[in-house]
Amino acid sequence: MKDTFVCARLVAPNQIRLLLRSPTSWEKERFWLEVDSQSEIALHSRKIDGDQIDFTLPAPLALGHSYFVYTPSLGNIPLDVSEATNFRDFDETYSYSGRLGPEYTPTETSWRVWAPLASSVSLLLKKKRGDTSLYPLKRLSNGVWIVTLKGDFLHASYHFRVVNNEVAVDTLDPYAKSSLANLSSSVVMDERKILKEASHLSLPALSFGKTVIYEGNVRDLTVDSSSDIVHKGLYLGLTESGRKTFEGNVFGLDYLRFLGITHLQLQPLQDFGSVDETKPFSQYNWGYDPMQYFVPEGSYATKPNDPESRVQEAQQMIRSLHEAGIRVVMDVVYNHVYRSSRFAMAQLVPNYCYRHSEEGKLSSYSGCGNDLDTTRPMVRRLIEDSAKWWIDAYGVDGFRFDLMGLIDVKTVEDIRLYGKKKNPDFLCYGEGWEMAPDEKEPMANLSHADLLPRVGFFNDRYREAVRAYCAGELSEKDHFIYAVLGSANDWADRQALFSRLTQSINYIECHDNATYYDWLKKRGIHEEQECLSIIKFGLASVLFSFGIPFLHAGQELGQTKYGNENSYNLGDLINKLSIKMLDSRFKIAQYGASALQLRQKLSFFDWQDPKELAEKVDVLSFGDGLLIRFHGENGFDSKEVDFLYNPTASALTYAYPEDRWILFDGGGACYGARLLGRNVIIPKHSLLVVALPPLHWPPYRGR
């Protein structure tokens, strides 16, 4: 029988298929279905088609049992029931809304896990003295399994041993709230204590139009070895105040406060698989490879093998940022996982959580080898439950969805609505690239921006137009105007992209693009001062555009990544926020902070309706320069505010019929200064903001 191959699959609720490759004829062979090693069902009705034998059962096969197809010639053949996840009524029958994960009290703990295909599930519990005990779970309805043990199991480590298709696998709990280092074990936590210690500091109300996002990484923001931060590269590093650079400039938490940003977007905090948590500084990775959606990453904790450390220190970091007046946005990766075969939900329920191609292979629109199918009810539930946990247990103020175009509209909107209930200013935005077809439900991509009017989308049209125009490409003027006005009104050859102005996330660099400095160098702009002038111009253009400004850490300094566009694993030298750079170019950071301060005073950036903007804006050209004028309420008791752009390498002049007050020039904001001008000069690669003088102007305050 060495040339014989056989496997058995459940291909319909009442149909078993055997694939038999053998030189032997099987037409006269007898077959039985063995159930739980206790009973047998004769398989009589069959159809033979080449190497395929199909058996029709008298009734649909019930899941949750051990099944073997038995024949005297071959013995027991395990029945693979994984295809049941694609049966028409599977989601309706097995979707579950009750509690999952461990439920701890000092006197008893219950574990619940969803594994509808499994024939058995056991709890492998490691007790404090080190021995491991095995406890069988009882199957309930909806494919949920449960066990309750008396005693105090706080911080007990555990796995589930699940048997699917007669193969036993030990796996983590997808609903665990903490773990030991390197995915070695799930851990029982006191969730009530975690929720009690969450950061729920009430920050002043903030309109979306006044939101300014700064993207950074827990490690990058504090890891520079020359800083005086104690907990470099860790959660606690962002809790330390009073830290200084060589030149006495603020650094770390105080630097973020100095910039005046409203939101810090932190790259993934959910536990990822690419860094050895016990030796975090021997490797580097941004963390776009999640493995546990409820658990904070351990490489940022002081004690990665202590399940309390990562939880408490992540909470403390967010609390400190809130106390500094900075909201926290989590960069979440709900489109794929690090290793599809090791992801806990995939081990518990084979063939369920990933999208597949027509050929049956795992789809990889993400480019990472697997795509989560967020339209499956229990995948959606896992994602939404983890998002709710980060809101409730850590107090995060928003989510940035990595590759949001691979997540369905309903999942994104469900999360946004939950966040808004907790926090009226809750922010949701993401990468709405059109990466995959709408198979079951519409996906959260730019084509469906009208379905998500209160969700932001990274605007790559903005990125391309603004960085090119600021660098002197005058042919991009119309695209620049379209971008600065929020991409929400038709202009020149472009149609409106958004229905609300704050749907546009305006950026010219982010973590996986070239920095603007490197982009300029690649375009042949090698003279350093010219390059820095363009960077300041681009920085001001982003901060004075309609939509939500987005700055990448170091952009305000003209930082380089030495030509690397995607430095996700290239280490601290390439990725860190550089103290040396900050000291040498601190005036550029001051310029950016000053522009941000003025933006917050200009009330028209609160406009949401593109029609209102279209009615109150004029666009004029003067030579190679551009003037954009806003009429009406502006926060300065002035009838008009003008933005004059000079993208050229020479100074330009604009002649007004009467004096204008200067609000912002190459040195930054100067509102309140008695600077009058009719013939105003706009230096090369720069932006000037002026206002029609009001009857009663604020007293002189200087710069």
Decide: helix, strand or coil at residue 512: coil
Alpha carbons 459 and 469: distance in angstroms, whole number: 16
Could you tell me how many residues make up the chain? Answer: 703
DSSP string, 173-241: -TT-SEE-GGG--EE---HHHHHHTS----PPP--GGG--EEEE-TTTTT--TTS--SSTTSGGGGG--
Query: Three-class SS string for 552-612?
Result: ECCHHHCCCCCCCCCCCCCCHHHHCCCHHHHHHCHHHHHHHHHHHHHHHHCHHHHCCCHHH
Mean pLDDT of 407-422: 97
Sign of the dihedral through C-alpha 275, 281, 284, 286? positive
* CATH class held by domain 615-691: mainly beta
How much is the pLDDT for 22?
76
Mean pLDDT of 175-183: 98
Alpha carbons 20 and 416: distance in angstroms, whole number: 51
Q: Do domains 5-80 and 615-691 have the same CATH topology?
A: yes
Residue 506 near residue 550 (C-beta atoms within 8 A): yes
Residue 308 has pLDDT above 60, yes or no: yes
CATH topology of domain 5-80: Immunoglobulin-like (2.60.40)
Greater confidence (639 vs 146) lies with: 146
Tell me: the pLDDT tens digits for 652-700?
Answer: 999 999 888 889 998 887 765 556 778 899 999 999 999 988 756 555 4
Residue 471 near residue 647 (C-beta atoms within 8 A): yes
Alpha carbons 670 and 562: distance in angstroms, whole number: 35
Alpha carbons 151 and 435: distance in angstroms, whole number: 50
Query: Three-class SS string for 308-374?
Result: HHHHHHHHHHHHHHHHCCCEEEEEECCCCCCCCCCCHHHHHCCCCCECECCCCCECCCCCCCCCECC
Among 3.20.20.80, 3.30.1060.10, 1.10.1240.10, 3.20.20.30, name the CATH number for the domain at 208-333+377-460+501-603. 3.20.20.80
DSSP label of 56: E
Q: What b/e sequence results for 150-184 when a residue is b if at least 16 CB atoms lie within 10 Å of its CB, and e otherwise?
A: eeebbbbbbbbbbbbbeeebebbbbbbbbbbbbbe
In CATH, which superfamily holds the domain spanning 90-196? Immunoglobulins (2.60.40.10)
When mean pLDDT is compared across 24-28, 73-77, 328-332, the lowest value belongs to: 24-28
Mean pLDDT of 14-35: 86
**What predicted TM-score, i.e. pTM, was given to this entire model?**
0.96
Phi, psi angles (nearest 5°) of residue 571: 90, 175
Band of pLDDT at residue 600, cut at 50, 70 and 90: very high
Alpha carbons 634 and 628: distance in angstroms, whole number: 14
DSSP label of 639: S
Domain parsing of the chain, residue ranges: 5-80, 90-196, 208-333+377-460+501-603, 615-691
Classify the phi-psi angles of 486: left when phi > 0, otherwise alpha if psi is within -120 to 50, otherwise beta: left
Residue with tokens 């191959």: 5
Residue 84 has pLDDT above 80, yes or no: yes
Residue 403 has pLDDT above 60, yes or no: yes
Tell me: the pLDDT tens digits for 528-566?
Answer: 999 999 999 999 999 999 999 999 999 999 999 999 999
Mean pLDDT of 98-111: 98
- Across all residues in the chain, what is the average pLDDT? 94
Name the residue among 233, 318, 242, 228 with its Cα closest to residue 283: 233
Q: Which two structure tokens, joined as six digits, stand for 215?
A: 């993207």
